[in-house]
């Protein structure tokens, strides 16, 4: 094992020299290691540095000399280490993996990576928040980005998804206005990473096409538990094109294998302060432990001739395609199994563009997609400062590139051709075009006619409330309650009573009872209108119907000396066997010792961790040096977990930590005393995740 390989393995990145992953092989040539035995510090030009600690001065106490080029180069490079931050989706993280196809889609698309079942395609995925700056928090109430770059044998394909099935606008013309409205106030620069301010809700009330988007944002979907437990929808309508040239409309969906799960509003707000990197840390921990995040790719298909058969326009991005009407066919699974080696070089410089497609995937006249197909590349020309975006290693395709494009900032490729134009005779008219029947990209020859206009594409684009009503009808009673609470939280920060009233009147169109409850909380008049007459629901939209597992749920083990060794060790071993993540929390680092001499290493202390960071607690208890402080810390954890409806396992030595009264029913609290099935019962409770019937 060479030094580089050893270094990467020690960091849990799974790097192996000569790995069969073709993208990893491409990246390997760019890996460099600056540290290790025999490594000497050099300038970027290659000469060795004799002193990297003190600048060159005129006399011992004199001024720095201009001729100290090493200081100049070091400082000037540092001054340029930052590139322009993304206007949206600034805060994120990414990982590599692979996509394996379940079933051939040859009947609808000629895309090479969707032809042969069992075929694998390397991918890079970036998760991100929409609103906040790069320095904001992971758990903000926000829509998330879920961008996937497929490194296919026909070139890169970028699948840009969001964590909602719908978007906020109907036409790309409004994107700048929407973004301005959700960003901090331009006069004060606050608030950061939240829509709890007047400008956003003024925009909402006066641009009511956003109603469906806001319903998703105010629901649990706006605060995912983990990127590993978050769905993804590209929201736009694309075309599949097969070998015969037949077009089929398609929307994509990413479904997490672990199910879709969320934080409570209170949890999200607290975690944002105590661990702003919560989602990043969660992703790293899972991959480093080998609990690789998995997502199934689904497609919804509509034949060209059936596009007008629905009560919504299939090109309207504020409308979803109900799964009960247009079923999702799951065609493959993506597994993320490797972290980046350098956050800036790979994650920060990654570039995604919905116009990066391969033969067999094409655009529609979706008004938002039409604008996005221009905006993304244009944005990254500015942000990355070069036209050579796809020369950056993370963005490079795994196939050969032959272009007539030359020069530009950061052009590392050395093109040795004397001819750089098309058509030519000096180079035999190469690089040559490839006919569509041999794999060249060709757009679908859709017939287009009509007058130039700024009209909406169809009457159903004016229906702002039928699908938000469908969404509301689909939520469980608990989800509805949490949605109202999230509305109340955000609107409580809105100073303008007029805006608050407009919002309440607007959302009466979705549900009058919901709007009335909000009105009572924010001190405005009850709405006069009523909701649209839609009674349909979609069970697929409720998190109550998502899969639940104990696997990778995180348990905080609260422990001190004197615990029952055999009981606790057996429980911890069983939790580990079930793939549960655990932190051993006590008053200080070191070892805790059971009554039978069993020792367990402490990984975290009460001083440096918080109850909201855990999905469940295992209360072991015991005898601490500072018994009063230990019990105070344990009770703080127990009370918070109980308040948030989380499962709690209680060892025989921990029963005194669970206060019992006629006022609590202890739903979701599992006791080890006199319970031979404690391990199984506790894991079942962990899998359930929340006990909404708790009192």
Annotated binding site for heme: 126, 175, 372, 376, 383
Per-residue H/E/C for 480-525: HHHHHHHHHHHHCCCCCHHHHHHHHHHHCCCCHHHHHHHHHHHCCC
Tokens of 660: 């019992």
573 φ/ψ angles, rounded to the nearest 5 degrees? -65, -40
CB 224, CB 342: distance < 8 Å? no
Cα separation, 86 vs 644, in Å, equals 35
The three-point CA angle 150-155-160 to 5° equals 40
- The torsion defined by the Cα of 440, 441, 447 and 452, in degrees rounded to 10, comes to -140
DSSP code at position 206: H
Alpha helix (H) ranges present in 142-236? Answer: 175-182, 198-206, 211-218
Cα separation, 522 vs 488, in Å, equals 7
- The torsion defined by the Cα of 452, 455, 458 and 462, in degrees rounded to 10, comes to 170
Binding-site residues: 126, 175, 372, 376, 383
DSSP code at position 57: B
Alpha-carbon distances, residue 86 vs 83, 90, 525, 675 (angstroms): 9, 5, 40, 54
Buried/exposed 259-282: b ≥16 CB within 10 Å, e otherwise: bbbbbbbebbbbbbeebbebbbeb
* H/E run at residue 329: strand 329-339
Closest to 185 in 3D by CA, of 497, 519, 495: 495
With 0-12 / 13-18 / 19 or more C-beta atoms within 10 angstroms meaning exposed / middle / buried, residue 452 is exposed
Location of structure tokens 């199910």: 259
């Amino acid at each position: 094992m060479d030094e580089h390989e050893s270094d990467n393995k020690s960091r849990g990145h799974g790097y192996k020299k000569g790995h069969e992953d073709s993208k990893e092989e491409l990246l390997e040539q760019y890996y460099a290691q600056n540290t290790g035995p025999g490594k000497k510090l050099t300038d970027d030009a290659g000469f060795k540095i004799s002193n990297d600690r003190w600048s060159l001065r005129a006399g011992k106490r004199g001024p720095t000399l201009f001729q100290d080029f090493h200081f100049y180069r070091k400082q000037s490079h540092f001054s340029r280490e930052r590139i322009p931050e993304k206007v949206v989706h600034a805060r994120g993280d990414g990982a590599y993996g692979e996509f394996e196809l379940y079933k051939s889609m040859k009947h609808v698309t000629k895309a090479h990576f969707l032809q042969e079942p069992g075929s694998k395609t390397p991918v890079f995925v970036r998760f991100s928040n929409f609103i906040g700056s790069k320095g904001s928090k992971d758990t903000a109430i926000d829509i998330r980005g879920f961008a996937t770059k497929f490194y296919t044998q026909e070139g890169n394909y970028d699948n840009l998804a969001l964590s909602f099935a719908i978007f906020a606008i109907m036409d790309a013309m409004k994107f700048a206005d929407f973004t301005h409205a959700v960003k901090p106030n331009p006069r004060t620069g606050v608030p950061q990473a939240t829509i709890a301010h007047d400008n956003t809700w003024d925009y909402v009330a006066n641009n009511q096409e956003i109603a469906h988007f806001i319903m998703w944002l105010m629901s649990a979907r706006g605060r995912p538990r983990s990127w590993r437990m978050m769905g993804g929808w590209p929201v736009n309508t694309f075309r599949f094109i097969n070998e015969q040239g037949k077009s089929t409309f398609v929307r994509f969906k990413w479904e997490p294998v672990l199910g879709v799960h969320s934080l409570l509003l209170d949890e999200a707000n607290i975690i944002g302060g105590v661990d702003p990197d919560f989602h990043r840390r969660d992703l790293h921990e899972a991959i480093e432990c080998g609990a690789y995040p998995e997502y199934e790719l689904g497609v919804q298909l509509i034949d060209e001739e059936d596009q007008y058969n629905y009560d919504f326009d299939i090109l309207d991005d504020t409308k979803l395609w109900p799964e009960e009407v247009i079923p999702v066919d799951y065609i493959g699974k993506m597994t993320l199994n490797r972290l980046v080696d350098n956050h800036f070089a790979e994650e920060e410089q990654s570039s995604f563009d919905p116009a990066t497609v391969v033969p067999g995937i094409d655009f529609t006249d979706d008004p938002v997609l039409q604008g996005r197909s221009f905006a993304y590349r244009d944005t990254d020309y500015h942000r990355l400062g070069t036209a050579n975006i796809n020369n950056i290693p993370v963005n490079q395709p795994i196939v050969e590139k032959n272009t007539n494009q030359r020069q530009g900032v950061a052009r590392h490729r050395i093109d040795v051709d004397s001819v750089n134009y098309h058509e030519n005779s000096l180079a035999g008219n190469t690089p040559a075009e490839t006919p569509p029947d041999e794999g060249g990209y060709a757009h679908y020859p859709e017939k287009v006619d009509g007058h130039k206009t700024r009209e909406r594409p169809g009457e159903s684009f004016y229906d702002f409330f039928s699908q938000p009503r469908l969404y509301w009808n689909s939520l469980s009673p608990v989800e509805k309650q949490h949605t109202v609470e999230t509305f109340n939280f955000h609107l409580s920060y809105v100073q303008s009573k007029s805006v608050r009233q407009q919002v309440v009147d607007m959302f009466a169109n979705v549900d009058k009872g919901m709007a009335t409850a909000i009105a009572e909380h924010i001190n405005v008049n009850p709405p006069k209108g009523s909701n649209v007459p839609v009674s349909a629901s979609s069970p697929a939209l409720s998190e109550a119907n998502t899969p639940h597992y104990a696997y990778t749920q995180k348990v905080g083990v609260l422990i001190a000396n004197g615990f029952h060794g055999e009981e606790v060790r057996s429980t911890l071993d069983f939790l580990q066997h079930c793939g549960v993540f655990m932190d051993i929390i006590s008053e200080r680092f070191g070892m805790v010792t059971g009554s039978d001499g069993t020792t367990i290493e402490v990984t975290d202390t009460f001083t440096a961790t918080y109850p909201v960071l855990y999905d469940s607690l295992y209360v072991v208890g015991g005898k601490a040096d500072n018994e009063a402080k230990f019990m105070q810390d344990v009770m703080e954890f127990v009370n918070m977990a109980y308040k948030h409806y989380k499962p709690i396992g209680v060892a025989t030595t921990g029963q005194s930590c669970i206060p019992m009264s006629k006022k609590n029913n202890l739903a979701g609290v599992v006791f080890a005393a006199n319970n031979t099935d404690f391990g199984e019962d506790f894991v079942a409770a962990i899998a359930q995740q929340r006990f909404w019937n708790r009192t």
